[in-house]
């Protein structure tokens, strides 16, 4: 960073940003003009003087990351990208919020606009995911360049955030900020735009605490500057802001939270410090008044001050120079660390290690057909085997590591050394065991940020019922198409005596309803191992949820030979009679055993039953029509689905005469066997349903 300086051209650039923000919303007819107008000097200061970036290469590995947590203020970022020389044009600004082909939607969308690091989505998740960006930077540095002095590694970069009241009001931001303070993430800086206005007006009606005191209590460094002067006048003191930020940059042992008191929409007549400027266009009169205050012609729209724009675009030259300096540093590191460099190239390319399959095969070789093993236990064994050959894999749980089997054995915990405990004595800042505490939503947001901000592969675990708390982050992962891995255990009423509050019923259907989320519910050890193999081998962009049992389930002889090919197809014939089957029994997870048992009973009674294991609807839907017909031939009308949850997901495959064996109520207080028996998840019930389906299909 060079010595801060501010000129008349910078003032003119900020004025241009304000006018463009007003014009873009006015042209669209809707949007949020107030915050982009008051944030213009803050964002301009960051992009011009603090954020390390190269507009010619938005994905440059050495760049700082910037996250606009209040995504409704997206014009703030779009205009700075345009000013800096990214591939964002004035026409893009003019098309703000207009049409499905716009590259400047109302909220920033990952993968759509160059320079956007993530889809921040609903308030709070941007800030929370930024904590994950900081996690990922630190772990990747430790993986590749752990001994470099602070600030000297090519893997050192900073994470910058602009957030507002709505962000810090959301619980997920509090969850993640607490973790960030505990982790002493010195590479993270949040600028808090305190304009004291929300849709319903002045925030004091609902938001009265001392936010700086809260963040100080979290363990953050805090500071503040007010653009509102003691005499009531308003001064956008960018030099004062720069001094505050320069002071904060010297703090390396804590995340930084900088409060800036602003007036929304300043200096728009009649709209400054008014909630009407938050979520609606300003109106012709107010926009004209703003332009007059800025010294612009009220009749001219989308005015470009070419001299000021050229001045702003010089940031690209500085970015190119920083990039060149980074290249030199990176090449020196690469030459000095050939093994680490090879690892970096592999993980950057998303490739698996050469011994990946062997690691899984060695675990599979220990499975014993006929034994009873919980799929959560099988998951833990497989994850640990993969972790042994994939150092980029790291993760943990929301305070359920022992129950989820998500702890990487022998690995240190990810935390500063002074956080070592009696339970977790082996701690260092580059450890690979994550501890989220009871913060499922933050866990989901942080692992999203890790994926977006690094080349490493995280996972997070909790009970399946608690995925309700994580779901908004899961949805955002699916929306962004990033390969987050969820390990959700205790998947049904069979978890038993914890009772109905902890027993998932609607959760499989709810998660399957999220587009691009791949839900996998393996039947036994073999299917669990093959599910993980395919998830990593597939190397696609979709997030995936492994839904696992608490209770032991039989390790199936048939799956030993068929799971390797069958699981990756989402559904496969596990058991088949000779000739055309009379009925198809389809099941997932722990209920496959009941379909197998029921099929044996039906065969003894002269009824030919096919058993289809369905670990993943999403993977099955990827198959061609020929394979689908092979598994579920249209000629077989009698069908039964078996799953300890709502039947909602299964009707597509049941057809007109199929019968679901399902649970359409909340759970019970009994143990696993009692609950399953009482709720009809038994082989006997499957047999009855099969006979009823056959009879209806004949009628």
Q: pLDDT tens for residues 629-658?
A: 999 999 999 999 999 999 999 999 999 999
Rg, C-alpha atoms of the chain: 28
Cβ proximity of 160 and 134 under 8 Å: no
> Which of these is catalytic: 117, 236, 440, 470?
440
Per-residue pLDDT tens for 106-132? 999 999 999 999 999 999 999 999 999
User: How far is the C-alpha of 500 from the C-alpha of 614, rounded, in Å?
Assistant: 26
User: How far is the C-alpha of 40 from the C-alpha of 270, rounded, in Å?
Assistant: 19
pLDDT higher than threshold 80 for residue 411: yes
Cβ proximity of 37 and 16 under 8 Å: no
The full set of domains in the chain, from first to last, is 8-322 (3.40.50.970), 356-554 (3.40.50.970), 568-698 (3.40.50.920)
Give 567's DSSP letter.
G
pTM of full prediction above 0.95: yes
pLDDT higher than threshold 90 for residue 3: no
Judging by DSSP bridges, how do beta strands 372-374 and 552-554 pair with one another? Answer: antiparallel
pLDDT higher than threshold 80 for residue 79: yes
Cβ proximity of 552 and 560 under 8 Å: no
The alpha carbon dihedral of 43, 49, 51, 52 has a sign of positive
Tell me what the mean pLDDT of segment 170-176 comes to: 98
Per-residue pLDDT tens for 361-382? 999 999 999 999 999 999 999 9
In 3-state terms the chain splits into helix, strand, coil percentages (rounded to 5) of 45, 15, 40
**Listed residue (497, 487, 480, 446) closest to 466, CA to CA:** 487
User: How far is the C-alpha of 40 from the C-alpha of 116, rounded, in Å?
Assistant: 17
Per-residue pLDDT tens for 467-509? 999 999 999 999 999 999 999 999 999 999 999 999 999 999 9
Could you give the percent of the chain with pLDDT greater than 70? 100
Task: Give the list of residues 6+ apart from residue 378 with CB closer than 8 angstroms, or none.
Answer: 367, 522, 524, 525, 528, 529, 548
Task: Give the list of residues 6+ apart from residue 420 with CB closer than 8 angstroms, or none.
Answer: 413, 426, 427
Q: Residue 157, SS3?
A: coil
Per-residue pLDDT tens for 7-25? 999 999 999 999 999 999 9
pLDDT higher than threshold 70 for residue 526: yes
**Listed residue (232, 256, 301, 278) closest to 26, CA to CA:** 301
For the chain, what is the mean pLDDT?
97
What is the pLDDT at residue 541? 84
What is the pLDDT at residue 476? 98
**Listed residue (669, 679, 250, 335) closest to 501, CA to CA:** 669
Per-residue pLDDT tens for 191-216? 999 999 999 999 999 999 999 999 99
pLDDT higher than threshold 60 for residue 550: yes
- 440 in catalytic set: yes
Which alpha helices (H) appear in 46-110, and where do they start and end? Answer: 74-84, 90-94
Contacts 24+ apart (CB under 8 A), 354-358: 355/389, 356/386, 356/389, 356/390, 356/536, 356/537, 357/533
Judging by DSSP bridges, how do beta strands 188-194 and 159-164 pair with one another? Answer: parallel
Query: What Å distances lie between residue 296 and 83, 128, 258, 299, 529, CA to CA?
Result: 18, 39, 32, 9, 65
What is the pLDDT at residue 169? 97
User: How far is the C-alpha of 332 from the C-alpha of 352, rounded, in Å?
Assistant: 26
Task: Give the list of residues 6+ apart from residue 264 with CB closer than 8 angstroms, or none.
Answer: 34, 35, 37, 38, 195, 196, 197, 272, 273, 274, 277, 278
Could you give the percent of the chain with pLDDT greater than 90? 98
User: How far is the C-alpha of 643 from the C-alpha of 76, rounded, in Å?
Assistant: 48
What is the pLDDT at residue 1? 46
What is the pLDDT at residue 2? 52
Which alpha helices (H) appear in 184-337, and where do they start and end? Answer: 211-218, 238-249, 284-294, 306-312, 315-336
Give 661's DSSP letter.
E
Cβ proximity of 465 and 502 under 8 Å: yes
Query: What Å distances lie between residue 219 and 161, 177, 182, 347, 453, CA to CA?
Result: 17, 9, 7, 33, 23
């Amino acid at each position: 960073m060079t010595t801060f300086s501010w000129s008349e051209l910078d003032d003119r650039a900020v004025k241009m940003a304000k006018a463009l923000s007003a014009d873009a919303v006015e042209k669209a007819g809707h949007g949020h003009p107030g915050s982009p107008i008051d944030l213009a000097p803050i964002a301009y200061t960051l992009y011009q003087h603090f954020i390390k970036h190269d507009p010619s290469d938005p994905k440059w590995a050495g760049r700082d990351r910037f996250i606009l947590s209040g995504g409704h203020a997206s014009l703030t970022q779009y205009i700075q990208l345009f000013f800096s020389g990214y591939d964002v044009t004035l026409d893009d600004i003019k098309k703000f919020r207009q049409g499905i082909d716009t590259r400047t939607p109302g909220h920033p969308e990952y993968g759509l606009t160059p320079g956007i690091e993530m889809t921040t989505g609903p308030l709070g998740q941007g800030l929370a995911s930024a904590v994950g960006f900081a996690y990922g930077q630190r772990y990747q540095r430790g993986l590749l360049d752990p001994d470099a002095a602070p600030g000297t590694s090519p893997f050192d970069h900073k994470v910058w955030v602009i957030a507002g009241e709505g962000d810090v009001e959301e619980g997920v931001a509090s969850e993640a900020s607490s973790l960030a303070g505990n982790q002493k993430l010195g590479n993270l800086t949040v600028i808090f735009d305190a304009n004291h206005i929300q849709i319903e007006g002045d925030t004091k009606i609902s938001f009265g605490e001392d936010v700086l005191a809260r963040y100080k209590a979290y363990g953050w460094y805090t500071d503040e500057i007010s653009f509102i002067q003691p005499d009531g006048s308003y001064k956008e003191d960018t030099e004062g802001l720069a001094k505050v930020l320069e002071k904060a940059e010297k703090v390396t042992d804590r995340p930084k939270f900088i409060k800036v008191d602003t007036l929304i929409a300043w200096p728009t007549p009649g709209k400054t410090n008014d909630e009407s400027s938050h979520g609606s266009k300003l109106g012709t009169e107010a926009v004209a008044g703003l332009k007059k205050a800025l010294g612009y012609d009220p009749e001219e729209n989308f005015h470009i001050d070419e001299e000021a724009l050229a001045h702003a675009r010089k940031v690209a030259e500085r970015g190119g120079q920083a990039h060149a300096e980074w290249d030199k540093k990176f090449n020196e590191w690469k030459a000095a660390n050939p093994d680490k460099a090879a690892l970096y190239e592999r993980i950057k390319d998303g490739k698996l290690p050469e011994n990946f399959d062997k690691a899984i095969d060695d675990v599979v070789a220990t499975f014993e057909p006929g034994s009873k093993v919980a799929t959560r236990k099988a998951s833990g064994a497989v994850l640990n085997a993969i972790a042994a050959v994939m150092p980029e894999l790291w993760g943990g749980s929301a305070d359920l590591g022992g129950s989820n089997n998500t702890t990487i054995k022998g690995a240190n915990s990810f935390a500063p050394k002074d956080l070592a405990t009696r339970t977790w004595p082996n701690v260092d800042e580059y450890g690979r065991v994550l501890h989220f505490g009871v913060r499922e939503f933050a866990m989901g947001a942080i692992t999203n940020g890790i994926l977006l901000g690094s080349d490493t592969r995280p996972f997070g675990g909790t009970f399946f019922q608690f995925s309700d708390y994580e779901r908004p982050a899961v949805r955002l992962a699916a929306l962004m198409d990033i390969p987050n891995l969820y390990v959700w255990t205790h998947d049904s009423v069979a978890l038993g005596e914890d009772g109905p509050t902890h027993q998932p019923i609607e959760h499989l259907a709810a998660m399957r309803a999220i587009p691009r989320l791949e839900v996998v519910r393996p039947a036994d050890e073999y299917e669990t191992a093959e599910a993980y193999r395919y998830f990593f081998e597939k190397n696609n962009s979709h997030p995936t949820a492994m839904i696992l049992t608490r209770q032991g389930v039989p390790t199936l002889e048939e799956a030993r030979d068929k799971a390797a090919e069958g699981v990756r197809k989402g559904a496969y014939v596990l058991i088949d009679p000779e000739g055309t089957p009379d009925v198809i029994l389809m099941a997932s997870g722990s209920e496959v055993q009941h379909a197998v048992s029921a099929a044996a009973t039906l065969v003894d009674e002269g009824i030919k039953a096919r058993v289809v294991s369905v670990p993943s609807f999403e993977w099955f839907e990827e198959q061609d029509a020929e394979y689908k017909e092979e598994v579920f031939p249209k000629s077989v009308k009698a069908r039964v689905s078996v799953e300890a949850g709502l039947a909602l997901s299964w009707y597509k495959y049941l057809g007109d005469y199929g019968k679901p064996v399902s649970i359409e109520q909340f759970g019970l207080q009994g143990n696993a066997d009692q609950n399953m028996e009482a709720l009809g998840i038994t082989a006997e019930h499957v047999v009855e349903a099969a006979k009823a389906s056959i009879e209806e299909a004949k009628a």
